Structure 1
Amino acid sequence: MKTLAFPRRSAPPMARVRQRLDSSQVEDVRGTVRQQLLDRGLATRVKRGDRIAITAGSRGMGGFIHLLQGTCDAIRSVGGEPFLIPAMGSHGGATAEGQTELLRRLGVTEEIAPIKASMETLELGTSSSGAVAHLDRWAHEADGVIVLGRTKTHPESIEGIASGLLKMTTVGLGKQAGAQQAHSSGLWDSVRAVPQLTLARAKVIFGITMVENAFHEPTLIEVVEPTYEAFLEADQRLLRLARVHLAKIPFDDLDLLIVDEMGKEISGTGMDVNVIGKWRTHGGERKPNYRRIVPLSLTYASLGNAIGVGLADFITERFMREYDPATTYINILTASEPDCMNTLEAGMPLALPTDRDAIEVALYSAVVQGEPKVCRIKNTARLDELWVSPALLPEVERHPDLTVLDPPEAIPFDPNGDLLPR
C-alpha cells in the first residue's frame, strides 16, 4: 500500500443506512411504450417500408433499453423499419465512432435496431435566440423521427424548462454543431427557440418522454404529439413530477461526502448539483454545505468524460486513469456560454494515490471540530442506501425515512488502499 507524508485524519467507522424513497414504477416498460404509440395512431403516420429514426441519448435514462425496444416493436408492427441515431450533442468526443461506443457502453447494440451515427447536420435556419437550428443528417434523410427523451431536473432552467423533449430536439438532434450554437446563444433561451424551427421543418412524428423514480426506474411514460406547444407543455408539466421524485442526501451539513462514482450518464455535471449543492456552480448560500467532496472513480459509460470533476475537492489516481482530456475538453468547450465560467467544471482537483489517501487527506483538510460528519454514497442518482459516520446517527434516528441496517464498521480497504466492492 502506498503511503503519503501528507497530513491526514483517519476515516471514522460507517453505518449502513436505508433511505425510504418512492419506488412506484411502470412494470412493463417495453409493452407500455409500444401500446401507447399504437393507441396514438402510429399506423396512420408510418407507411410500410418507412425508415424511422429514434433518438438514443447518452444520459442512461431508466429503462433505456426497454424504451428503445418497445418503440422499435411498435414501428415494426405497422411495417416500418426503425433505426437508432446517437442524440447526444458533443458527447463521445464529438465523433460518430465515439458516440456509437458510448451507446454500446450503455447496452445499446444493433440487436435492437441498426445504429446510424454521423456528426453531419443540416441547417434549418436561425432561431429567435440567435442559435442556428441543426438537424442530424440521418434524421433528415429518414421518413420520420421519434424523439425519445427524459424529463429531468436541471440546475439551470427558465420558466419550467429543464432536460426534456425540447432539449433533446435542440441538443440531441442538433449534434455537436447544434449544441454549440445553443450554448453560445444562451442554452435555455435556445431550448425554447430552436425546437420551433426543428419541429416545423423536420419529420418528427412523435415525442416519447419519461420520468424516473428515485431508483432510476421509469415511473411514467408518455407519448407526445409532435408540435412545439405539446413538447413545451409536456416538459413543463412533467418537470413538476420529476422534482417530486428527486432524491436528496438527507443531511444539510457534512464534513466529507464520499462518492463512489461520478459520470455523464448519472448527471450532466457528473454529480448532480441539485444533490451536492447548486452553490458549487452558481454561488450563493452554501446549502447543503458539504465542505469536502471526493469522487473515487469515473464510470465506464462516461467514455472518459469527466465534466463536473472541478466541483470536487480531491480525486484518486484511479480516477485519473479513467479520465480522457479530449472527450472532456470538447464537451466543455461545446457548452461554453456567454458570461459563464463553465470551464471550472473541468478543472482537476488534487489527485491522491489511493481511495484511503483521498478520503483521509480530504477529511484532514476539512479542519473538523469534534467528531466528523461523513457520508458515503454510490452516486448522486442512487440515494436509497447511504453509509454514515457515528456523528450523523442522531440525525438518522430523528428522520422518519431513515433506518440503520448495519452498525458502524471500519471502512473496508484492500491492501492497496482502495475500497473493497460492496
Structure 2
Amino acid sequence: MEIKRGGIVSQLLAQVPIPKMFRAKQSFPRPVIQTKDIPRIVFEELSKEGIAELIKPDMRIAVTAGSRGIANVDSITKAIVDFIKRKQAIPFIIPAMGSHGGATAEGQLEILASYNITEATMGCPICSCMDTVFLGYSKYGKPVYMDKLAFEADGVIVSCRLKMHNAFRGSYESGPCKMMVVGLGKQKGAESVHSDGMGKIADNIPANAEVILKNAPILLAIPCIENAYDETCKIEAIHRDKILEREPELLKYAASNMPKIIVEKGDVLIVDKIGKNYSGTGVDPNITGTFSTEYAMGGVKVQRTCFLDLTDSSHGNALGVGLASVITKRIFDKMDIQKMYPNCMTSTVLKSATIPLIMATDKEAVQACIRTLNEVNKEHLHIIRIPNSLHIEHIMLSEAYYEDVKNGMYDGLTVEGEIEDMGFDINGNLHPLLEHC
C-alpha cells in the first residue's frame, strides 16, 4: 500500500492549524522499592514462614516470566532464581505468555531476551515450548491446560505483575491467576479462558485457576505491583493456598497506585509510542480510554486519538492500532500480522487489530484528528500528548489548558515550560517526548 505525502489527503490537511503546546508535569503518590533493594525484598518474602519450606533441595523449580515490560523484571527474576539456588534446588525459567511471541517457542524466547532475561544473565536454563498438558475442566466446562515443562517440574513459582486489566473488570484481573491460566496455559489455555468473550473472562480466570491449583505443582506466587511512575512499589510472596484469597486484595492496592491523565478530558490524544511492553493493547486504556471491549471503562475522555510509533521491543506486534482514530505510516510499516493475529484470534477481541486511517507523517496524523472533530471550537482546542501509557509524568498540553494549569485548577499538575510550537521536523515528524521510550 502506497502512503505518501503530496496527494489529495495532504491537500485536505495542509491548512489545518495545530495549536501551540506547553510541557506539564503530573505528580502522584510514589511508594517505591529501589532497584538495589529488590534482591533483598525478594529474599525476605521467599524466606517467610510457610513459604521457604516449600522449596526443598534438588527440586526442579520452574519460574515464570511474562511478555509485559515489567519494571525490574530481570532483577526480580534473577533474585528468585538465586534464592532457589541458595535452597539447593534447581531453577529454570518458563516463558509464560499465552499466545504472545507469535504463539511460538522461539518468539517467546525472543521477547524474554529483549527484557534481559537470558540463560547468561539469569544463570539458569530457559525452557520454552508450546506443548501443554490437559488438567481437566473448570466448573463452567472450560478445558484447562498447562505448559508441559512446568507441569513436569517439582514445583512452579508464579512470578508476574499484578494490575488492572485493559478489557474487563473483576476480582481477578492481571495477576497470578491470569498468569497461571493464560500465561502458563500457552495458546490453548489462553484460547479456552477467552472463548466466551470478555464478558465471561472475569469468571473463567478464577475457575480455571482453581483447576490448576488443584492439579499442578504450583508452590507460590510472587507478584509485583508498580506505582504511577512505572516503578516497583510492592513485592509479595503468597502461598498457593492463599492466592485466591489474597489476589483481590492486592488488586485494590494496585488500582490505588494507577496513574491518570489529570485533566481527564480533551479533544485529541496523541500517543508517541505504543507497544506490548506498555500494555496488551499497545496502550493501557485505563489511562487513554481506548478500550477494546464494553466490559471496562475509565481513562481520559477524548474524541480522537492518534498513535505515532511502535516500540522495537514489540517485535512487530502492533495490537492496539485499532483503538486509535489515526495511525502513521511508520507504525503500519512495522506491523507484523503473524505476530498480531494469533494474539487477537486467541483472545477473540478483533477490534485491537483493525486498521484505522493511516497518515504519511506525524503532522498529518494530528491534523486528520483535528479536521474530523465534531462540535468543538477549533480555535480553542484541548490537545493532550503523552510519550506512552506507562510514562506520563511529563506530558504536553495545548495552550487552551495553560491558564487553568498555571492557576492551580488541577491538583498534581504544574506548568513545566513555555507555550511553543509542537515541533515538527522538516519531514513532518515529532521528536519523542522521552528518549528511552
TM category, shorter: over 0.9
Q: Does 1:95 align with 2:104?
A: yes
Q: Does 1:39 align with 2:48?
A: yes
Structure 1: give runs of 5+ residues left out of the alignment: 337-341
Alignment of 1:247-326 (within 5 A): 247-277=259-289, 281-282=293-294, 288-326=300-338
Structure 2: give runs of 5+ residues left out of the alignment: none
Following the alignment from structure 1 to structure 2, what is the Cα–Cα distance between the partners of residues 310 and 141?
39
Picking from 151, 158, 166, the partner of 1:147 is: 158
Q: Which amino acid aligns with 2:203?
A: D
- What does residue 143 of structure 2 align with? 132
Following the alignment from structure 1 to structure 2, what is the Cα–Cα distance between the partners of residues 331 and 142?
27
- What does residue 82 of structure 2 align with? 73
Q: Is the 8 A contact 2:167 2:292 kept in 1?
A: no
Alignment of 1:205-220 (within 5 A): 205-220=219-234
Picking from 173, 179, 190, the partner of 1:162 is: 173
Alignment of 1:398-409 (within 5 A): 398-409=409-420
Q: Is the 8 A contact 1:263 1:301 kept in 2?
A: yes
**CA 1:403 to 1:232, structure 2 compared with 1: closer, same or farther past 3 Å?**
same
Q: Is the 8 A contact 1:118 1:138 kept in 2?
A: yes
- What does residue 429 of structure 2 align with? 418
**CA 1:140 to 1:396, structure 2 compared with 1: closer, same or farther past 3 Å?**
same
Residue identity over aligned pairs, in percent, reads 37
Alignment of 1:2-401 (within 5 A): 2-3=5-6, 4-8=10-14, 9-27=16-34, 28-40=37-49, 43-110=52-119, 111-112=121-122, 113-157=124-168, 159-185=170-196, 186-227=200-241, 230-277=242-289, 281-282=293-294, 288-336=300-348, 342-367=349-374, 368-369=376-377, 370-397=379-406, 398-401=409-412
Q: Which amino acid aligns with 1:316?
A: T
Measured against aligned partners, the alpha-carbon deviations of 1:161-211 in whole angstroms (never above 9, x if no partner) come to 211111111001101110001111432222011111111111111110121
Deviation of 1:395 (Å): 3.2
Deviation of 1:371 (Å): 1.4
Following the alignment from structure 1 to structure 2, what is the Cα–Cα distance between the partners of residues 236 and 44?
25
Q: Is the 8 A contact 1:314 1:358 kept in 2?
A: yes
**CA 1:289 to 1:43, structure 2 compared with 1: closer, same or farther past 3 Å?**
closer
Q: Which amino acid aligns with 1:5?
A: Q
Deviation of 1:60 (Å): 1.5
How many residues align? The count is: 415
Following the alignment from structure 2 to structure 1, what is the Cα–Cα distance between the partners of residues 351 and 148?
33
**CA 1:391 to 1:59, structure 2 compared with 1: closer, same or farther past 3 Å?**
same
Normalising by the residue count of structure 2, what TM-score does the alignment of the two structures yield?
0.90
**CA 1:240 to 1:184, structure 2 compared with 1: closer, same or farther past 3 Å?**
same
**CA 1:190 to 1:281, structure 2 compared with 1: closer, same or farther past 3 Å?**
closer
Deviation of 1:279 (Å): 6.2
Q: Is the 8 A contact 2:168 2:293 kept in 1?
A: no
Normalising by the residue count of structure 1, what TM-score does the alignment of the two structures yield?
0.93
Residue aligned with 1:372, SS: coil
Deviation of 1:156 (Å): 4.4
